[in-house]
Amino acid sequence: MVRYRAALAALLVVAACGGNPFLPEPVDPTPPDPNAPQPSPDQDNAVEDLRGFRYDGTTLEIDMAGVSSSGQYGLFRRKAEMDIPRHGTHPAYLAYEFQETNMTRSYLAYVAENDRGTLLSVASVDGGQFNEHNGGGGWVRLTGYSRPDIAASPSPEGTEEGTFSYYGAYAGVFVPGFNDPGGPPRPDPLQPGEPLGVRGVIQVNAQFTNRASGDPEVVEGEITNRRLFDRDGNQITSINIADGNGGVRTIDTSPMPGLVLRETEISENGTFLGTVEYEGSPDSEAGSFDGAFGGTGASDVAGVIWVNPIDGETGIHEYGTFNLPRCDLPGASPICTPRRP
């Protein structure tokens, strides 16, 4: 695989004061020259925490704002015990971690490139230190994109011709986690936290229309079966967080609520931006999602989310990513078949 460098096409960032973390207009970067990788043209549009990354299929480097690494890019190490398993031939999400010293912030990242090589997605965040954390995520197109060619009156038989489903694994990074036990003894408030991993499944449905109809094209979905894991790959069923009065309280994290990607419009270039809600609570506004379709006929979809993952818990955050194949194409999860009653 050719090494490339890219600013994240859709950034999500968080500050201590909160707010919508997405760039207002996602950018679709020009694919790099495979013979001479160059910075993508949207590099100047990258802001705040996660400003860019470099990935060659094995090595992940992230340019993170704040006190993170001595160089511009932090070199992440593989953390295979936290990988997210495959769905059919849909690729696993590969886990990486970074911490320059035992005294500084501890990061966890997930990265996924699909089998067709059309899209790459990534999410990363540190576990928190000194009342805040730095994190972000995004997608980048690796090849061209074309929308499906929709007939004016699609046949009810055969393959999908306008309404498509995408299904597979979801990967998230969750904070706060546990205090880092490594290194010399330090008072608890000084220990950097370690973010936790989230595993789930996600389904995305998209409606592409005949251009002559003038009807909007829309996308929606949901992330479900969300489970929390520590850095050794063990499932975590509860976490303790500060109660604001010098003590701690316990929060049940098994199960965690489903997250709905509320229906939103697909732009002319196949990108989208919308609101995340808690399953069963319309208009609850848990956070935001952002993504893009890629490949010929929207063969794949990838995106990122930023949410408060547990309703009512504003001090808990999750950064997540998905990279999914279309259900009627090679690489789809076995759950996609059969698709018709």
Number of domains in the chain: 1
- Asked if the structure places residue 119 within a domain, the reply is yes
For residue 261, tell me if it sits in a domain.
yes
CA distances 181 to 103, 104, 175, 188, Å, are 11, 13, 16, 10
* 338 located within any domain: no
* DSSP code per residue over 53-109: EEE-SS-EEEEESSS--SSSSEEEEE-GGGPBPPBTTBPPBEEEEE-SSTTS--EEE
Place of tokens 């999914």: 324
Looking at the domain assignment, is residue 340 inside a domain?
Answer: no
Contact 254, 298 (CB under 8 A): no
Contact assessment for residue 126 and residue 195, using Cβ atoms and an 8 Å cutoff: yes
280 is written with which tokens? 């069963």
The parent domain of residue 122 ranges over 4-332
How is the chain split among helix, strand and coil, in percent rounded to 5?
A: 5, 45, 50
* H or E element, residue 123: strand 119-126
Per-residue pLDDT of the chain (341 residues; tens, 9 = 90+): 333 333 333 333 332 222 223 332 333 333 333 333 333 333 222 223 666 777 888 889 887 765 566 556 788 999 988 998 776 555 679 999 998 888 888 899 999 888 889 999 899 998 887 778 888 888 889 999 998 887 666 555 555 678 899 999 999 999 988 765 555 566 667 778 889 999 999 999 999 987 777 788 999 999 999 999 988 889 999 988 877 777 888 888 887 999 999 999 999 999 999 999 999 989 888 999 999 999 999 999 999 998 999 988 888 999 999 999 999 888 888 888 876 76
Is residue 341 in some structural domain? no
In a domain, 113, yes or no: yes
- Tell me, yes or no, whether 85 lies in a domain: yes
- Structure-token pair, residue 99: 């911490």
Spatial distance between the Cα atoms of 42 and 37, rounded to a whole number of angstroms: 14
The verdict on residue 314 lying in a domain is: yes
Q: Kindly report the pTM of this predicted structure.
A: 0.83
